[in-house]
Amino acid sequence: PAPPQFSPAYTPPADPPYGGQQPLGPPTGFPATGNITVRKKSNVPVILLVLGVIVILGVGGCVAMLVVVGDRVEEAATDNDATPILPNIDFDTDEPPATIEGGGPAGTREAPLPMGTEIDLGNGWRVTVVSADIGPDVAAAVESANEFNEPAPEGSRYILVNLKATFAGRPDASTETPFFGFDYSVFGSANVERGAFDTMASAPEPELDNSSELAAGGEAEGNVVLTVGADETNLVMRLEPSMSFDSTEAWVALG
């Protein structure tokens, strides 16, 4: 009989020439695996488009708002809500009161209301010019009222006006200070407005308290001091609501 055949002994592959372990790789015919980077589409065009729409709508909305506000301000600028409260005047008589003649019920610079007339400014405030002292004795009274008061500047003089302010209340304000309620200033023959901030001196007592809040029905009364020209005549006080954009005003003669 023929001798049995034996398979040759298994001989392992030789080590890599660099002496390390042979790296394992994917089977032949399969793609290599690993981190695959997917290229995303940019969002920049979309963002720019959204921002552009917002800008266009914003500008258009602002323009529309400005047009509406401008129309409202223009309409309000022609209104004068100031009215005198004249309980002792009979409007049924043949003779109309002198305080109503001229440019309207609140008076004008050329035809002002008399002192003592209570004026409703239409913003919850009623103001009365109680009295006025425009004579030469005012200088001494003002200079002695406060140690920091100085003489009126050269070419000018002080005058004193006594004001009474009543807060009737408003739906949007339960309390308010006279400072935020009304403004006052004086015009004369020099045709220049003289306001409260043009005078640094304090008025003699009782001085008008502009900073204390008043509730509905509260009153504040006292003196205010203003500076006018030394020889200025035909002095008239103008009363207006504070920070108003309309034409509400009243004029009162100071003598």
Whether residue 87 sits in one domain with residue 192: yes
Mean pLDDT of 48-72: 61
**Beta strands of the chain (E only): which ranges?**
83-85, 118-120, 125-133, 156-167, 175-176, 182-187, 194-195, 214-215, 219-229, 236-241, 250-253
The model's pTM is 0.65
Whether residue 175 sits in one domain with residue 120: yes
Share above pLDDT 90 across residues of the chain, in percent, rounded to a whole number: 56
Is pLDDT at 30 greater than 60 in this prediction?
no
User: Residue 137: which CATH number?
Assistant: 2.60.40.1240
Whether residue 222 sits in one domain with residue 158: yes
Rounded to whole angstroms, how far apart are CA atoms 155 and 160?
17
Whether residue 207 sits in one domain with residue 247: yes
Whether residue 214 sits in one domain with residue 99: yes
Least confident window among 19-33, 88-102, 128-142, 206-220:
88-102
Residue 24 φ/ψ, nearest 5 degrees: -85, 135
Whether residue 115 sits in one domain with residue 193: yes
Does some domain include residue 162? yes
Rounded to whole angstroms, how far apart are CA atoms 197 and 40?
66
Does some domain include residue 241? yes
Q: How confident is the model at residue 89 (pLDDT cuts 50, 70, 90)?
A: very low
The pLDDT score that the predictor gives to residue 61 is: 59
Mean pLDDT of 141-156: 97
The residue with greater pLDDT, 104 or 147, is 147
Is pLDDT at 43 greater than 90 in this prediction?
no
Q: How confident is the model at residue 2 (pLDDT cuts 50, 70, 90)?
A: low
| Domain housing 48 | 41-76
Considering only CA atoms, which of 137, 240, 232, 154 is closest in space to residue 196? Answer: 240
Whether residue 214 sits in one domain with residue 90: yes
The pLDDT score that the predictor gives to residue 132 is: 98
**3-class DSSP state for residue 91?**
coil
Does some domain include residue 15? no
CB atoms within 10 A of CB 59: 10
Is pLDDT at 14 greater than 70 in this prediction?
no
The pLDDT score that the predictor gives to residue 92 is: 45
Does some domain include residue 8? no
Is pLDDT at 191 greater than 70 in this prediction?
yes
Mean pLDDT of 180-201: 97
Whether residue 170 sits in one domain with residue 127: yes
The pLDDT score that the predictor gives to residue 249 is: 96
Does some domain include residue 94? yes
Domain boundary among the residues 18, 49, 76 is at 76
Rounded to whole angstroms, how far apart are CA atoms 115 and 120?
14
Rounded to whole angstroms, how far apart are CA atoms 35 and 86?
93
Mean pLDDT of 59-81: 56
Q: Indicate the residue type of 135.
A: G
The residue with greater pLDDT, 46 or 205, is 205
φ/ψ region of 169 (left if φ > 0, alpha if ψ in -120 to 50, else beta) reads left
Whether residue 191 sits in one domain with residue 128: yes
Does some domain include residue 209? yes
Mean pLDDT of 44-69: 63
Across the chain, what does the average pLDDT equal?
80
Whether residue 146 sits in one domain with residue 117: yes
pLDDT digits (tens, 9 = 90+) for 207-233: 999 999 999 999 999 999 999 999 999
Rounded to whole angstroms, how far apart are CA atoms 83 and 26?
99
- On the CB side of 61, CA atoms within 13 Å amount to 6
H or E element: which one contains 179?
A: helix 178-181
Give the CA angle between residues 174, 246, 237 to the nearest 5°: 85
If one counts the domains in the chain, the total is: 2
The pLDDT score that the predictor gives to residue 78 is: 56
Whether residue 51 sits in one domain with residue 173: no
